[in-house]
Amino acid sequence: MVLELYLDLLSQPCRAVYLFAKKNNIPFEFRAVELFKDSILGTKVPGTSNPEGAMPSGPLPKATAVKKVPVLRDETFVLSEGTAILLYLSRKYNTPDHWYPSDVQKRAKVDEYLSWHQANIRANAPKAMWIKVLIPLFTGQPLPPEKLQEVMEGLGACLTQLEELFLQDKPFLVGSEVSLADLMAIVELMQPVGVGCDIFEGRPRLAKWRDRVEEAVGKELFLQAHQLILNIKQLSTIQIDPRLKEQLGPVLLKILK
């Protein structure tokens, strides 16, 4: 049975899993899950498409208790959570050592970043998309500019820490080669870029790092994986069922309080 990956490329961890599997020539069946289509919006982003070869997913595997992606199914084995999936793939398919080094100290530095990432980059980078696209979509009203400014200031502080604590003067976050740390970071940072917030402007060290990560992954593959997020603004043209607006609008507003 072929390895199956249930992915929605609007999701940052899904993009990380997709990029890692494709870059390392891991054979898998792409099960396209359109979470916005299936459970919220009723349609997909206009003018975009899933990568060639993606198949409709059907329901997520029953063995996973969470209704989110990414999800991996390897015969009867089911795994969720992006970081766990990346580590499983790196071990099972013996991917090049630089992704998750065998050297105990180098591996510990990747682990250090992945732990820091969750409460910092992961917690802050997506907020610009919620403010600029999703909350106005569901509430019918834009948030005040001060809210976006507040969010961007918080993200800016995280980016400064990313540069000073991890990148420093190295080519990549934990050394001279790309790792899972870089992959997890870049997919998150493309989220604000997709809604017109150029977080790399004025940060030449971080901008050069982004270029190196894209080059290491493959620019064509990188762009393919980010096609949906780079067209995310087109969601603003979608008509939302008033019942969904009533249900989800207040919930979304609470996210940023």
Identify whether residues 115 and 84 lie together within a single domain.
Answer: no
Helix %, strand %, coil % for the chain, to 5? 55, 10, 35
Identify whether residues 183 and 61 lie together within a single domain.
Answer: no
Looking from the CA of 191 toward its CB, the CA atoms found within 13 Å total 29
Identify whether residues 144 and 225 lie together within a single domain.
Answer: yes
H/E stretch holding 186 reads helix 180-194
Distance CA 185, CA 191 (A): 11
Q: What residues make up the domain containing 40?
A: 4-98
Identify the CATH number of the domain in which residue 219 sits: 1.20.1050.10
Identify whether residues 173 and 157 lie together within a single domain.
Answer: yes
Low-confidence ranges of the chain (pLDDT < 50): 38-48, 63-65
Identify whether residues 92 and 104 lie together within a single domain.
Answer: no
Give the N- to C-terminal CA distance of the chain in Å, as an integer: 46
Distance CA 136, CA 235 (A): 10
The model's pLDDT over 161-216, given as tens digits with 9 standing for 90+, comes to 999 999 999 999 999 999 999 999 999 999 999 999 999 999 999 999 999 999 99
Identify whether residues 15 and 49 lie together within a single domain.
Answer: yes
Cβ atoms of 22 and 208 within 8 Å: the answer is no
Angle between helical axes of 180-194 and 204-217 (0-180°, round to 10)? 110
Average pLDDT score, the chain? 86
Domain endpoint, select from 68, 98, 128: 98
Domain endpoint, select from 98, 120, 147: 98
Identify whether residues 23 and 51 lie together within a single domain.
Answer: yes
Cβ atoms of 216 and 178 within 8 Å: the answer is yes
Identify whether residues 120 and 242 lie together within a single domain.
Answer: yes
pTM of the model: 0.86
Identify whether residues 161 and 187 lie together within a single domain.
Answer: yes
